[in-house]
Structures are given as C-alpha cells and as structure tokens.
Amino acid sequence: MSIRAIGHRGYPAKYPENTITSFHAAIELGVTHIELDVHLSKDGIPVVMHDYKIDRMTDGSGEIRHYTLDELKEFKVQGKESIPTLEEVLHLAKNKVTVSIEMKNTKLYDSFEEKVFQVIQQTEMIEQVYVISFNHHALMNLRQLSKNIKVGPLVNKMKRSHFRLINKLNAEYLAVKHDGIKNKYVRKLDELGIQVVVWTVNNIEQMQRFSEYPSVLITTDELEKYKKFKSDFSNIAEYKEVIV
C-alpha cells in the first residue's frame, strides 16, 4: 500500500534523520514523497543535514561550510553512517518518490541555488523534485535559473499576500506549518492548482484534523502511524458507504 505523504527527513521516528538509511526506510514503506534539507560544504557540494552545524547529529562539531566534503564524510551520524550528499539521495529516490528539497540558511553560502540546481540537472531529477525555502529571494533566484523547476515558499501561517508571492514565483507549492492553514485559502489554492503542504503532523488528533483536507499533502515523522491511520480511515469510510 502506497501512502500519499511526505517522509520528513526520511523516517526519523525510527532512523537517524536525513540519512540514507532513513530515506530508504521511508521509500520501502511506500510513501509518495520524502523531504530533505541541504547546506553547502566548504568546496560547494550540497550535503543533506537539517542544522548548519554537525554537532547534534554527528561525532564532530562545527559548521558544515567550514569542512570539505571529504572531511564531512569522516564524521559519523550517530556512530553509524556518513552525511549524504544531495546527489546520493536523489540517485536513491530516482523513479521511486518525489523529493522535497529545503534550502537551509541560504545566506551562509555563495551560489547556493546554482549548486543545488546543478545537482538536480545532473541527476535528471527536475521532474521529480520541488524546492522550498523560507528565503523567498533564494526561490526567485532559482526560478531565474529555470522556468521548469518546481518551487514553493515556506511560511508559518497562510496570508492573503502569499497569493501574490506564489504568482511572482510561478510557484506550484505552498508549505505551511500545520497550525497556520486557513480553510478559505486552502480552497482557493486548490482552485489555482497549487499543492498545499503542511508540516509536521505527528499525532492522531492532527491526522484526524487534516482528514478534512484531502488535497493537502501531509509531512510526518510518524510514517507507520500515519499509514495505519489512513488505512483505518479508509476502511471506516468504505463501511459507511456500504451502510448508506
């Protein structure tokens, strides 16, 4: 059974976030999307990690931008595996899932958008990815590089002004914090063909709430919990149809 959902940094409820193991587990579980975060190494290679420092996730310390890729590969994530590159994850995901790429801390890096886009091009994944960021200027830079790359602004709360932003960016997505959506805006975005993404939905109460928004794409850490919820919800819906 496939599950229409985004594995947030892979499957972090069971595996170290943003690792090949975590992404592989999410793909094997049958999600339609995975989400990852990228930074640039000292030598300009997009690498996958949420924080701009390696302290929380590895046996090393310091900022990603102060290490070359070879140096970063020497550190171990929770003592087990190396920090993956964007290229490595895209090869893993190719022809299997859609990948949401979040550009993090964009102001720390030179030519960030160009480096990320280059990897997307080289892996021939432009049809299987979309790029999100809180830095909407970075998304505009990316749009100027390509009219075909799919982009989406990250926001904490839906606002009317976001419709102008979406139009300016020619965006296909809007990624919103789970408690920041508004029903009237979801309906309007549906009419415009914009995919609403919410993050991060991990408990049953939140999952139940978003069952009222079938078009919205859910980002979650709890993939098996969400898969079971969707299966149970579907079974209940089918039972009600039979009774009626």
Assign a CATH topology to domain 3-239.
TIM Barrel (3.20.20)
Q: What is the 3-state secondary structure (H, E, C) of 4-44?
A: EEEEECCCCCCCCCCCHHHHHHHHHHCEEEEEEEEEECCCC
pTM of this structure? 0.95
- Could you confirm whether 33 is annotated as catalytic? no
- The Cα–Cα gap between 36 and 131 comes to 10
Selecting among 24, 39, 50, 178, the annotated active-site residue is 50
- Could you confirm whether 8 is annotated as catalytic? yes
Q: Kindly state the tokens that stand for 173.
A: 């997505």
pLDDT in tens, the chain (244 residues): 789 999 999 999 999 999 999 999 999 999 999 999 999 999 999 999 999 999 999 999 999 999 999 999 999 999 989 999 999 999 999 999 999 999 999 999 999 999 999 999 999 999 999 999 999 999 999 999 999 999 999 999 999 999 999 999 999 999 999 999 999 999 999 999 999 999 999 999 999 999 999 999 999 999 999 999 999 876 544 434 434 4
DSSP codes of every residue in 105-122: SGGGSTTHHHHHHHHHHH
Domain residue ranges of the chain, discontinuous segments joined by +: 3-239
Selecting among 8, 33, 39, 162, the annotated active-site residue is 8
- In the three-class reduction of DSSP (H, G, I as helix; E, B as strand; rest coil), residue 157 is classed as coil
Alpha-carbon dihedral angle through residues 231, 232, 233, 236, given to the nearest 10 degrees = 120
**Paired sense of beta strands 129-133 and 31-40, if any:** unpaired
- The Cα–Cα gap between 27 and 68 comes to 29
Helix (H) / strand (E) containing 207: helix 204-210
